[in-house]
């Protein structure tokens, strides 16, 4: 029996399919041991070796990693919610009710999505404070701090665009207040300083662009939905990639 | 990185500095992932996502509160016009944060927690963070109907009398000093100018080494951003103590 298993395993590991997936041999040789390390995607994302000090909890507080994890959790739960939610003002609210009361585990996913969103704002904030306090933005890492601030801004805008989607009183009025301020933008808003002088009107200023109208309505809902579910997450992923790439290239800031 | 003869992969790094990511780093990450996921699931059982009545334009909630992380900005709306509180200040916060690495020329304190080597930087950051946190705390727990101030022991269903008698600084100057409105206005402009001029010039002489290390461009940028940040509690104090509505009134905007 074990002989048969051995032959099956020998055959499997010698097929082209196996070798295409695992690009190193099966025998325990020094070369294969090296290759398992160097051809592994995990070691593309991580360094093979890490500075001893940089994995201490009291240095990193794990906040950058926690932020990434929450981003992943938000993506997964968000995708699940997208199966049930339609950004139509006539049914959006009822869809949320269905998610909360009818869909299996729907309320869990929505609760986790919301908690993770609030949590992500908090962890980004703590991560930034940690990086500041350890002087980790000093040369050569200045630009990565700038990328981090962009990611902080994206986190806040992502959270805010998601706020409108349930289409309840809380969502509607919070976004009404928020977008009203866009109309007060200097130069580009009709109510802002120098706005009227530059030809801004109710129907052509930055608030109009954001809302797709003069008040929060169907156009606003679809704009916020697309921004929240597609545009902003993609932009965030691009900056995340740069952020992590630079951590690898500049080296971790931990004590020498 | 290259493959070398021997029984183990090695990099050019000093051996005592580094450890293998597997298992040491991956274990830490796995534990962190499990703890955060468990906390999320556990909390989601007790903290439900709110869902209020469906949108209705005839009923407006009072008070209308933004999510907690924006309440600092909403609180600033009490003291500043929306173009400052809602647009200009957030933009300046983001730009200011981005500029930090280019304004902080102190080479010390990279890679460890230290206060003694970067007293100024840490103090300024703590001041900003403290201000931001205080505004959020006020917005979350001390504001009720009509965005009035409510102590925890006040009845949240009873309206508070609106604040009246707020005056512009220029009007106060004009009435108190018996001068024309134009002169009062000019005086208020001068006062704002003096705030920035004194704030920019005095430290040059007191902290010569600080000024020399930064150079004129870095110094002016740093100080203007700092003076704007410090100006926020100053304006709040002027409102609360002297009932001043605007410190500066122009035909186009008011501060």
Judge if A182 and A73 occupy the same domain.
yes
A50 part of a folded domain: no
Judge if A89 and A143 occupy the same domain.
yes
Judge if A22 and A126 occupy the same domain.
no
Judge if A21 and A106 occupy the same domain.
no
Of B36, B51, B66, the CB nearest to A96: B51
Judge if A122 and A241 occupy the same domain.
yes
Of B98, B104, B111, the CB nearest to A134: B111
Q: SS3 of A23, please?
A: coil
Preferred mutation among B1, B29, B55 to probe A, highest tally of A CBs within 10 A: B55
Judge if A81 and A106 occupy the same domain.
yes
Judge if A158 and A200 occupy the same domain.
yes
Structure tokens at A137: 């933005």
Give the up-direction half-sphere exposure of residue A194: CA atoms within 13 A in the CB hemisphere. Answer: 3
Query: % helix / strand / coil in chain A, to the nearest 5?
Result: 70, 0, 30
* Dihedral sign from CA coordinates of A35, A37, A40, A43: negative
Q: Are the Cβ atoms of A70 and B37 closer than 8 angstroms?
A: no
A52 part of a folded domain: no
Q: Residues of A with CB below 8 A from B19's CB?
A: 49-50, 52, 55
Domain span at residue A33? 2-43
Preferred mutation among A132, A167, A207 to probe B, highest tally of B CBs within 10 A: A132
Q: In a structure prediction context, what are the per-residue pLDDT tens digits for chain A, which is 256 residues long?
A: 789 999 998 898 889 998 888 877 777 888 888 887 778 887 878 888 887 777 788 888 889 999 999 999 999 999 999 999 999 999 999 999 999 999 999 999 999 999 999 999 999 999 999 999 999 999 889 999 999 999 999 999 999 999 999 999 988 988 888 888 888 888 988 888 888 888 888 888 889 999 999 889 999 999 999 999 999 999 999 999 999 999 888 877 766 5
Q: How many structural domains are present in chain A? A: 2
Identify which of B66, B72, B75, B189 has the alpha carbon closest to the alpha carbon of residue B133. B72
Alpha-carbon distance of B136 to B140, in angstroms, equals 6
Quote the pLDDT of residue B92. 96
* Residue listed under structure tokens 């004590």: A255
Give the distance from residue A89's alpha carbon to the nearest chain B alpha carbon, in angstroms: 9
Quote the pLDDT of residue A30. 86
A12 part of a folded domain: yes
Q: Collect all residues with Cβ–Cβ distance below 8 Å to A20 and sequence separation of at least 6.
A: none
Is the peptide bond between A163 and the residue preceding it cis, with omega within 30 degrees of 0? no
Judge if A9 and A100 occupy the same domain.
no
Q: Are the Cβ atoms of B66 and A168 closer than 8 angstroms?
A: no
Q: Is B53 on the interface with A (CB under 8 A)?
A: yes
Judge if A87 and A14 occupy the same domain.
no
Residue of B nearest to A192 (CA): B83
Task: Provide ipTM, 2 decimals.
Answer: 0.89
Residue of B nearest to A187 (CA): B83
Give the up-direction half-sphere exposure of residue A112: CA atoms within 13 A in the CB hemisphere. Answer: 26
Spans of all domains in chain B: 65-159, 164-255
Give the distance from residue A93's alpha carbon to the nearest chain B alpha carbon, in angstroms: 6
DSSP E strands in chain B: the ranges are: 18-20
Quote the pLDDT of residue B16. 55
Q: Residues of B with CB below 8 A from A141's CB?
A: 101
Q: A142-164 and A106-133 are packed helices; what angle lies between their axes, rounded to 10 degrees?
A: 150
Report, at the CATH architecture level, how domain B65-159 is classified: Orthogonal Bundle (1.10)
Q: Are the Cβ atoms of A178 and B70 closer than 8 angstroms?
A: yes
**Picking from A123-127, A166-170, B127-131, B159-163, which range would have the lowest pLDDT averaged per residue?**
B159-163
pLDDT of B4 higher than 70: no
Preferred mutation among A32, A48, A134 to probe B, highest tally of B CBs within 10 A: A48
Structure tokens at B219: 């110094």
Residue of B nearest to A182 (CA): B87
Judge if A17 and A124 occupy the same domain.
no
A95: left (phi over 0), alpha (psi -120 to 50) or beta: alpha
Preferred mutation among A33, A35, A49 to probe B, highest tally of B CBs within 10 A: A49
Q: SS3 of A191, please?
A: coil
Please state the rounded mean pLDDT for residues B48-71.
85
Burial B74-102 (b: 16+ CB within 10 A, else e): bbbbbbbbbbbbbbbbbeebeebbbbbbb
Q: Are the Cβ atoms of B48 and A253 closer than 8 angstroms?
A: no
Q: Residues of A with CB below 8 A from B22's CB?
A: 42
Q: Are the Cβ atoms of B61 and A170 closer than 8 angstroms?
A: yes
pLDDT of B9 higher than 70: no
pLDDT tens for each residue of B62-118: 888 888 999 999 999 999 999 999 899 999 999 999 999 999 998 888 888 889 999
Judge if A26 and A141 occupy the same domain.
no
Judge if A129 and A238 occupy the same domain.
yes
The rounded mean pLDDT for chain B is: 88
pLDDT of B3 higher than 60: no
Structure tokens at A62: 């794990």
Cβ–Cβ < 8 Å for A189, B83? yes
Cβ–Cβ < 8 Å for A58, B30? no
A256 part of a folded domain: no
Alpha-carbon distance of B126 to B121, in angstroms, equals 9
Give the distance from residue A16's alpha carbon to the nearest chain B alpha carbon, in angstroms: 24
Q: What percent of chain B has pLDDT over 90?
A: 52
Cβ–Cβ < 8 Å for B63, A118? no
Of A30, A48, A186, the CB nearest to B11: A48
Q: SS3 of A51, please?
A: strand
pLDDT tens for each residue of B183-219: 988 999 999 999 999 999 999 999 998 899 999 999 9
pLDDT band for position B132 (50/70/90)? very high
Of A30, A46, A172, the CB nearest to B25: A46
């Amino acid at each position: 029996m074990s002989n048969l298993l051995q032959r099956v395993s020998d055959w499997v590991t010698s097929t082209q399919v196996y070798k295409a997936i695992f690009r190193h041999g099966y025998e325990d040789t020094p070369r294969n041991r090296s290759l398992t390390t160097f051809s592994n995607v995990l070691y593309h994302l991580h360094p093979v070796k890490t500075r001893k000090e940089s994995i201490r909890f009291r240095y990193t507080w794990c906040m950058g990693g926690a932020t990434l994890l929450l981003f992943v959790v938000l993506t997964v739960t968000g995708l699940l919610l997208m199966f049930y939610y339609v950004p139509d003002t006539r049914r959006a609210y009822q869809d949320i009710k269905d998610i909360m009361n009818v869909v299996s585990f729907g309320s869990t996913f929505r609760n986790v999505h919301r908690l993770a969103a609030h949590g992500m704002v908090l962890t980004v904030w703590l991560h930034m404070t940690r990086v500041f306090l350890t002087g980790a933005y000093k040369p050569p890492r200045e630009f990565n701090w700038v990328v981090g601030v962009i990611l902080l801004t994206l986190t806040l805008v992502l959270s805010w665009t998601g706020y409108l989607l349930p289409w309840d009183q809380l969502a509607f009025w919070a976004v009404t207040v928020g977008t009203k301020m866009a109309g007060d933008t200097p130069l580009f808003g009709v109510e802002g300083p120098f706005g009227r002088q530059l030809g801004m009107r109710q129907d052509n200023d930055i608030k109009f662009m954001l809302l797709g109208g003069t008040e929060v309505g169907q156009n606003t809902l679809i704009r916020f939905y697309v921004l929240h579910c597609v545009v902003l997450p993609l932009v965030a992923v691009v900056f995340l990639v740069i952020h992590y790439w630079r951590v690898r290239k500049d080296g971790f800031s931990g004590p020498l | 990185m290259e493959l070398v003869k021997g029984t183990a992969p090695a990099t050019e790094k000093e051996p005592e500095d580094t450890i293998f990511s597997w298992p040491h780093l991956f274990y830490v990450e796995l534990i962190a992932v499990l703890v955060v996921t468990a906390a999320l699931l556990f909390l989601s059982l007790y903290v439900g996502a709110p869902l209020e009545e469906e949108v209705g334009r005839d009923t407006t909630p009072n008070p209308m509160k933004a999510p907690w992380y924006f309440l600092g900005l909403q609180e600033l709306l009490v003291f500043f016009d929306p173009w400052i509180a809602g647009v200009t200040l957030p933009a300046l916060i983001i730009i200011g944060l981005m500029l930090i690495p280019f304004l902080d020329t102190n080479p010390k304190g990279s890679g460890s927690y230290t206060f003694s080597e970067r007293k100024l930087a840490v103090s300024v950051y703590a001041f900003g963070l403290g201000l931001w946190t205080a505004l959020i705390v006020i917005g979350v727990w001390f504001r009720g109907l009509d965005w009035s101030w409510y102590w925890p022991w006040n009845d949240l269903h009873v309206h508070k009398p609106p604040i009246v008698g707020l005056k512009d600084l220029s009007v106060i100057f004009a009435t108190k000093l018996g001068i024309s409105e134009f002169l009062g206005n000019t005086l208020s402009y001068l006062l704002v100018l003096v705030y920035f001029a004194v704030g920019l010039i005095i430290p040059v002489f007191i902290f010569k080494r600080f000024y020399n290390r930064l150079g004129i461009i870095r110094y002016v940028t740093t100080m203007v951003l700092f003076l704007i940040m410090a100006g926020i509690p100053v304006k709040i104090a002027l409102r609360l103590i002297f009932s001043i509505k605007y410190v500066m009134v122009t035909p186009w905007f008011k501060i």
